[in-house]
Amino acid sequence: MSQFLKTIKDALRDLLAIIIVVVFFQLVVLQQPFPEPTKILIGLVAVVLGLALFIQGLELSLFPLGENMAGALVRKGNLFWLLFFAFALGFGTTVAEPALIAVAKEAARISAMAGVIVDTEESQSSYALGLRLTVALSVGISLLVGVLRILKGWPIHYIIIGGYLVIVILTQFAPEGIIGVAYDSGGVTTSTITVPLVTALGIGLSTVIKGRNPMIDGFGLIAFASLFPIAFVLLYGMVA
């Protein structure tokens, strides 16, 4: 119980900055009273409790799960299953992501307005589905390449900088309407549940495999998952 109280205290401290900013701007800069203060207070209590519960749950479930999976898969010694796991984790968590569904729909609407695709219900929904699958596929490939990199010990900066160059070049040729969506799609792929699991997976792998350093080799999976989708979506915009 005392552990939970400490987590609550930490959560309060994490949220203190937001509270200060909102109160300062509302009362000092805009000089307005708070609308529905009880609703805001109840909401704040929920936010603090929720954050505390989530952080406790991380240490109990997502962190150990990610690390145990990494260990078990390496012990099994089957490269196919390890890479398949990485791909499925990326694809599976992204394809049904509500934020991505929303972005894809919006992109289809913009493209239809701009005349890039035919302006019918049917072509819009198939464009949106194609975009969703493209992003999910690219996140799956990111994690697959990321895990392969940890196994082989490739230095990360060549891949990241190379990726940037590819994106810069593709941006010159991609249709105007897709660029904003492409840059945004990198951000929507990494949800609050995926990040801890993927981070634990990377750290777990680099701890189990000989000659790898958790700091140098363990991180980087998230970076790939936010970089690859940009390039893939730009390509999709040029092809579709």
Partner 1 sequence: MPELLTTILMTFVATIRDIAPIALLLVFFQVIVLRERIAHLKRILVGFIYVVAGLALFLIGLDQALFPIGEIMATQLTDPVFITGAEAIEDLNASDIVDSAVATVQSIEWWQYYWVYIFAAAIGFSTTIAEPSLIAVAIKANEASGGALSPWGLRIAVAIGVAISIALGAFRIVTGTSLAYYMMAGYLIVIIQTMFAPKMIVPLAYDSGGVTTSTVTVPLVTALGLGLASTVPGRSPLIDGFGLIALASLFPMITVMAYAQISRMRAGS
Q: Rounded to the nearest whole angstrom, what is the least distance from the CB of residue 122 to partner 1 in the complex?
A: 23
85 binds partner 1 per the rule CB under 8 A = yes
Q: How far is the CB of 44 from partner 1 (least distance, A)?
A: 5
Do 100 and 185 meet the contact criterion of CB atoms below 8 Å apart? yes
Q: Closest separation between CB of residue 207 and partner 1, Å?
A: 8
Shortest Cβ distance from residue 146 to partner 1 (Å)? 10
- Residue 160 neighbours by CB distance under 10 Å: 14
Sign of CA dihedral 202, 205, 208, 212: negative
Choosing from 48, 112, 131, 145, the residue that interacts with partner 1 (CB under 8 A) is 48
Return d(Cα 46, Cα 151) in angstroms, integer.
Answer: 42
- Contact (Cβ atoms closer than 8 angstroms) between residue 227 and residue 163: yes
- The residues in 177-236 that bind partner 1, with binding defined as CB under 8 A, are 180-181, 183-184, 186-197, 199-200, 203, 213-223, 225-227
For the CA atoms of 72, 77, 83, 84, what is the dihedral angle to 10 degrees? -70
Q: How far is CA 236 from CA 101, 138, 163, 222, 229, in A?
A: 16, 11, 16, 22, 10
Q: Per-residue x/- marks for partner 1, 53-72, CB under 8 A?
A: xxxxxxxxxxxxx--xx--x
User: Among 93, 111, 134, 138, which residue sits at the site for partner 1 (rule: CB under 8 A)?
Assistant: 93
Q: What is the closest distance, in whole angstroms, from the C-beta atom of residue 13 to partner 1 in the complex? A: 9
Residue number, 1 or 215, with CB nearest to partner 1: 215
In the stretch 7-46, what mask flags binding to partner 1 with x, by CB under 8 A? -------xx-xx-xxx-xxx--xx-x-xx---xxxxxxxx
Give whichever of 128 and 222 is closer to partner 1, judged by the CB atom: 222
Give the nearer residue to partner 1 in terms of CB position, either 54 or 123.
Answer: 54
Residues 112-171 that bind partner 1 (CB under 8 A): 156-157, 160-161, 164, 168, 171
Nearer to partner 1 among residue 15 and residue 129 (C-beta): 15
Q: What residue has token string 């464009």?
A: 127
End-to-end CA distance of the chain: 56
| Number of residues lying near partner 1 (CB under 8 A) | 99
Nearer to partner 1, 49 or 133 (CB): 49
Q: Which is nearer to partner 1, 4 or 118 (CB)?
A: 4
Name residues whose C-beta falls within 8 Å of residue 238's C-beta, 6 or more positions apart in sequence: 170, 173, 174, 175
Q: Is 175 in the site for partner 1 (CB under 8 A)?
A: no
Torsion of CA 105, 109, 111, 114, to 10 degrees: -170
* Residue 234 token pair: 């730009």
Tell me the residue type at 142: S
